[in-house]
Copies of this chain bind each other. A is one copy, B any other.
Amino acid sequence: MKKNITKPSILPGFMELLPSDQIAFNKMLNIIRRNYEKFGFAPIDTPIIEKSEILLAKSGGDTEKQIYRFNKGDNDLSLRFDLTVPLARYVAQHMSSLNFPFKRYQIGKVFRGERNQRGRFREFYQCDIDIVGNGKLSIINDAEIPSIIYSTFKELGFDSFTIHINNRKILNGFFDSLNIKNKTDVLRIIDKLDKIGLGAVKEELSDLGIENSALQKIIEFINIEGTNDEILNALNKLNISNETFKTGLDELAKVCYYIKCFDVPESNFIIDLKIARGLDYYTGTVYETILNDYPSIGSVCSGGRYDNLAEYYTNQKLPGVGISIGLTRLFYQFKEANIIADNGTSTPSAILVISLDDNLEYTISVANKLIKNNINADTYLEEGKVSKKLNYADKLGVTYVILIGSEERETNILTLKNMKTGEQFKLTIEDIIKKIR
């Protein structure tokens, strides 16, 4: 009787990796998690399915179209589309049990039914940290965030990256001082500067109805360059009396001062007056992180300060600051840019133990000893020719094999073979354990 076979496949826009890539992916994820914990962020894990009324409390725009929303019984359910809305709900719900400032990280999958497009994913990992205050939160927290970005991307293997920092209050105050009403449109145009060039930016701003004198000042403003101190000086010299601007400038100066206390080298952060971050809830400091050798990837880690995290779930004011790494997309981009090369290793084992003559008792005992000494090890348990067993080891990409025949069993001197170099060593199990460690 022939079964009905369903062709095995997954949906477009979903990432699924072979073991060798999955190991590389998990390595990145573990580095991010370890760094988040090193700086004292506690883990939380919110449900993937929540009530639609919660996730869509702040409704509108693209979110509603992209969300996976459905009914089960009487319930109107949605899959989370980010980790920020669940954080807001979590903090509001558990407020009395939490200790503020509340430092949490969350790493998990989020879901957006976006238009299918190369490099865009409908299910993807976000790795978020946030520091949330109850009522208030010192600006110095905004200076700690870059030190976590710095530590994380250093450990991910990068030396040359720049954390771009700005403060939304400077932009807002500056535009207010010019009597510009449609700030969002102006920001959107300025944001395209690198893409479309100064001429086109001028034209678009002019089309927006920005007067010539204001236009001149905007161009002057976004052309401010130099070291961080030079930029802060130039901003001071603009002599803008707008209070929001002055607060923003004061905050930015403080953040830059304390970032140095947090041991981030001057070469790894820069004031960038052009960044604003699209999300409308940022109200102060904003961050973007650019890998200097791969600028086309765009920002690899972004975030900022917000005044009020959970306004839809509580009247309590909860200011905070946070960042997010979109790991699934980042991994995809790193693969595309050959930043991550497949080293062909599809096992967490350091050693595969192989019996030359299908005599397994002693072979298994060797693997046992390795495992008990915290060396990941595997035994090849199938019967067959030695060539087949070595072929398996080769395909697995394991670095070492131990080959065991009657001689090894009698003498307890084992043959350790490095599969990458072809070298062979005659060693006792104790010496192998020392060597591998």
| In contact, A16 and B45 (Cβ under 8 angstroms) | yes
Knowing A101-B381, A144-B381 are in contact, say whether A313-B368 is a contact too (CB < 8 A): no
| In contact, A46 and B123 (Cβ under 8 angstroms) | no
The answer, yes or no, to whether A347 is at the interface (CB within 8 Å) is: yes
- The distance in angstroms between the C-alpha atoms of A90 and B9, with both chains bound, is 8
Knowing A22-B44, A141-B381, A346-B99 are in contact, say whether A54-B364 is a contact too (CB < 8 A): no
- The distance in angstroms between the C-alpha atoms of A43 and B44, with both chains bound, is 22
| In contact, B73 and A70 (Cβ under 8 angstroms) | no
| In contact, A346 and B42 (Cβ under 8 angstroms) | yes
The answer, yes or no, to whether A312 is at the interface (CB within 8 Å) is: yes
- The distance in angstroms between the C-alpha atoms of A255 and B207, with both chains bound, is 79
A371 to chain B, nearest CB (A): 5
- The distance in angstroms between the C-alpha atoms of A11 and B392, with both chains bound, is 47
The answer, yes or no, to whether A267 is at the interface (CB within 8 Å) is: no
List which A91-144 residues lie within 8 A (CB) of chain B. 92-94, 97-99, 101, 103-104, 109, 111, 113, 122-123, 133, 136-138, 140-141, 144
| In contact, B140 and A360 (Cβ under 8 angstroms) | yes
Among A32-40, A189-197, A277-285, the stretch that binds chain B is: A32-40
Among A177-185, A212-220, A256-264, A402-410, the stretch that binds chain B is: A256-264
| In contact, A111 and B49 (Cβ under 8 angstroms) | yes
Q: Mark A316-341, 1 if CB is under 8 A from B, else 0.
A: 00000000000000000000000000
Knowing A47-B14, A376-B37 are in contact, say whether A93-B381 is a contact too (CB < 8 A): no
A330 to chain B, nearest CB (A): 15
| In contact, A57 and B365 (Cβ under 8 angstroms) | no
Output the nearest chain B residue to A137 by Cβ-Cβ distance: B382
| In contact, A261 and B312 (Cβ under 8 angstroms) | no
A120 to chain B, nearest CB (A): 15
List which A334-363 residues lie within 8 A (CB) of chain B. 346-349, 352, 360-361
Output the nearest chain B residue to A89 by Cβ-Cβ distance: B8
Please indicate the chain B residues that have their CB under 8 angstroms from the CB of A70 in the complex.
68, 70-71
Please indicate the chain B residues that have their CB under 8 angstroms from the CB of A31 in the complex.
none
Q: What copy number does this chain have within its complex? A: 2
- The distance in angstroms between the C-alpha atoms of A140 and B383, with both chains bound, is 10
| In contact, A262 and B68 (Cβ under 8 angstroms) | no
Knowing A40-B377, A364-B258 are in contact, say whether A109-B3 is a contact too (CB < 8 A): no
The answer, yes or no, to whether A306 is at the interface (CB within 8 Å) is: no
The answer, yes or no, to whether A436 is at the interface (CB within 8 Å) is: no
Output the nearest chain B residue to A394 by Cβ-Cβ distance: B99
Please indicate the chain B residues that have their CB under 8 angstroms from the CB of A41 in the complex.
348
- The distance in angstroms between the C-alpha atoms of A44 and B347, with both chains bound, is 11
Please indicate the chain B residues that have their CB under 8 angstroms from the CB of A312 in the complex.
3-6
Please indicate the chain B residues that have their CB under 8 angstroms from the CB of A263 in the complex.
365, 368, 372
Interface centre among A7, A19, A147 (most CB of B within 10 A): A19
Q: 13 A-B residue contacts at CB 8 Å? A: A5-B312, A9-B51, A10-B54, A11-B75, A15-B47, A16-B44, A16-B46, A16-B47, A48-B48, A70-B71, A73-B113, A133-B382, A144-B381
Residues of A within 8 A of B (CB): 3-11, 14-19, 22-23, 25-26, 37-51, 53-54, 57, 68, 70-73, 75, 77, 79, 89-90, 92-94, 97-99, 101, 103-104, 109, 111, 113, 122-123, 133, 136-138, 140-141, 144, 147, 151, 258, 261-263, 310-315, 346-349, 352, 360-361, 364-365, 368, 371-372, 374, 376-379, 381-383, 392, 395-396
